[in-house]
């Protein structure tokens, strides 16, 4: 639960430092929790409200299912249609749903433990390179989060939301969030719907954007974006050294 506010804080600070150095985003996008950082960057949500919001989100998600009943599994090497077909086939054993479409051949599913164990075997038989159980406390971005979704919707009624000042790519629709009603809807629906990262990045790329800066801890998104749009230029800013490097590189471009 504490990790979510910490990630949001680091991402927001780094984004502000980029802007201080005249590096302004044309469009912002965030993956799952990252959508909150994107909304702060677009001035749709105040930072202090977002910190409280993501803490509540973390609590609601953790408490939405009994411990040990559900989890997530990353499948590497199969395409989305193949995974969807497998989700249908496994219904007799239990529920498995697509949670994240991260790259053309990296898909994360959420589901009941017993069904996920069988799903991993099925994926390998179908030709997946890897089926990796994720160390998570619950099956996020799935119908198992219905209670969490309802709780978040109630909490959001108390949060001041504005229209985004720059376009924000939406996880759920892969389109842009245009107004404050869209912000509220995106955050609520994100709880039970898959993250359409592939479609989101393709949409952004279709607007003529070919330079991306990942902001915050890690560099997972950089790798995913390169898989989706191989010709794109992608940087990641996670500390003072990487920040300085990107400022210098952007200075050459600008």
In this structure, are 153 and 249 located in the same domain? yes
Does 95 share its domain with 205?
A: no
- The 10s digit of each residue's pLDDT in 97-112 is 999 999 999 999 999 9
Is residue 48 a part of any domain in this protein? yes
Count of the separate structural domains present in the chain: 2
Instruction: Judge whether residue 67 has pLDDT over 90.
Output: no
pLDDT of 216 above 60: yes
Verify that 95 and 154 share a domain, yes or no. no
Is residue 43 domain-shared with residue 76, that is, in the same domain?
A: no
Q: Domain containing 121 — which CATH number? A: 3.30.70.250
Q: Cα–Cα distance between 251 and 44 in angstroms, integer?
A: 28
Using the predicted structure, report yes or no on whether residue 81 has a pLDDT greater than 80.
yes
Answer yes or no: is 192 within a domain. Answer: no
Select which of 32, 84, 143, 205 is catalytic: 32
Higher pLDDT, 103 or 250: 103
Q: Please identify, among 112, 136, 160, the residue that sits at the C-terminal boundary of a domain.
A: 136
Mean pLDDT of 54-68: 92
Cβ atoms of residues 141 and 32 within 8 Å: yes
Q: Are residues 121 and 10 in the same domain?
A: no
The answer to whether residue 225 sits within a structural domain is yes
Query: Quick check: 115 and 71 in contact, CB under 8 A?
Result: no
Strand segments, DSSP code E, in 150-226 are 168-169, 176-177, 211-215
pLDDT at 177 over 90: yes
- Of the listed 141, 142, 169, 200, which one is catalytic? 141
Split at pLDDT 50, 70, 90, the class of 252 is: confident
CATH number of the domain bearing residue 240: 3.40.366.10
Same domain? For 209 and 163 the reply is yes
Across the range 117-139, mean pLDDT stands at 97
- In whole angstroms, give the CA distance from residue 98 to residue 52: 28
Tell me, yes or no, if 32 is annotated catalytic.
Answer: yes
State residue 83's pLDDT score.
98
pLDDT digits (tens, 9 = 90+) for 5-32: 999 999 999 999 999 999 999 999 999 9
Residue 212 pairs in a beta bridge with 234
Average pLDDT over residues 135-155: 96
Q: Find the radius of gyration of the CA atoms of the chain.
A: 18
Binned at pLDDT 50, 70 and 90, residue 189 comes out as: very high
As given in the structure block, the two tokens for residue 112 are: 């009941």
Q: What is the mean pLDDT of residues 173-179?
A: 97
pLDDT at 254: 55
Q: Please, are residues 62 and 1 in contact by the beta-carbon 8 Å criterion? A: yes
On whether both 153 and 44 belong to a single domain, the answer is yes
- Same structural domain, 45 and 15: yes
Shared domain check, 241 and 149: yes
Question: Are 204 and 239 found together in one domain?
Answer: yes
Q: Is 242 a catalytic residue?
A: no
In a domain, 158, yes or no: yes
pLDDT confidence bin for 68, thresholds 50/70/90: confident
For residue 32, how many other CB atoms are within 10 A of its CB?
16
Per-residue confidence (pLDDT) for residue 253, from 0 to 100: 64
In a domain, 190, yes or no: no
Note down the domain range covering 130.
70-136
Q: Summarize the confidence of residues 147-172 as an average pLDDT.
A: 98
194 lies in some domain: no
Domain boundary among 90, 112, 136: 136
In a domain, 115, yes or no: yes
Question: Is the same domain home to 12 and 103?
Answer: no
The answer to the question of residue 224 being in a domain is: yes
Whether pLDDT at 222 is above 90: yes
Angstrom distance (rounded) from CA 212 to CA 51: 25
SS3 of residue 172 by DSSP: coil
Whether pLDDT at 1 is above 80 = no
Of the three residues 136, 158, 188, the one that is the final residue of a domain is 136
Using alpha carbons, select from 57, 52, 54, 25 the residue that is nearest to residue 41.
25
Is 51 in the same domain as 157?
Answer: yes
Question: Which tokens sit at 195?
Answer: 């993250």
The b/e string for 125-163 (b: 16+ C-beta within 10 A; e otherwise) is eeebeebeeeebbbbbbbebbeebbebbeebbeebebee
pLDDT tens profile 223-237: 999 999 999 999 999
Average pLDDT, the chain: 96
Quick one: pLDDT band at residue 218, thresholds 50, 70, 90?
confident
């Amino acid at each position: 639960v504490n990790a979510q506010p910490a990630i949001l804080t680091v991402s927001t600070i780094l984004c502000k430092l980029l802007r201080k150095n005249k590096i302004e985003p044309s469009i912002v996008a965030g993956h799952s929790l990252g959508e909150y950082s994107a909304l702060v960057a677009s001035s749709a949500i105040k930072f202090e409200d977002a910190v409280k919001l993501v803490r509540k989100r973390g609590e609601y998600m953790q408490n939405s299912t009994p411990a040990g009943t559900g989890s997530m599994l990353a499948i590497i090497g199969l395409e989305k249609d193949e995974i969807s077909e497998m989700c249908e086939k496994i219904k007799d054993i239990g529920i498995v749903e697509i949670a994240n479409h991260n790259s053309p051949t990296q898909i994360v599913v959420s589901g009941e433990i017993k069904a996920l164990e069988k799903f991993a075997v099925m994926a390998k038989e179908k030709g997946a390179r890897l089926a990796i159980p994720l160390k998570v406390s619950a099956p996020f971005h799935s119908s198992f989060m219905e209670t969490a979704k309802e709780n978040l919707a109630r909490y959001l009624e108390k949060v001041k939301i504005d229209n985004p000042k720059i376009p924000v790519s939406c996880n759920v629709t892969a389109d842009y969030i245009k107004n404050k009603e869209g912000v509220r809807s995106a955050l609520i629906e994100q709880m039970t719907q898959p993250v359409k990262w592939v479609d989101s990045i393709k949409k952004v790329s279709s607007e003529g954007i070919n330079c991306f800066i990942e902001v915050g801890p890690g560099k997972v998104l950089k790798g995913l974006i390169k898989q989706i749009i191989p010709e794109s230029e992608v940087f990641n800013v996670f500390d003072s050294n990487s920040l300085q490097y990107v400022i210098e590189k952007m200075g050459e471009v600008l």
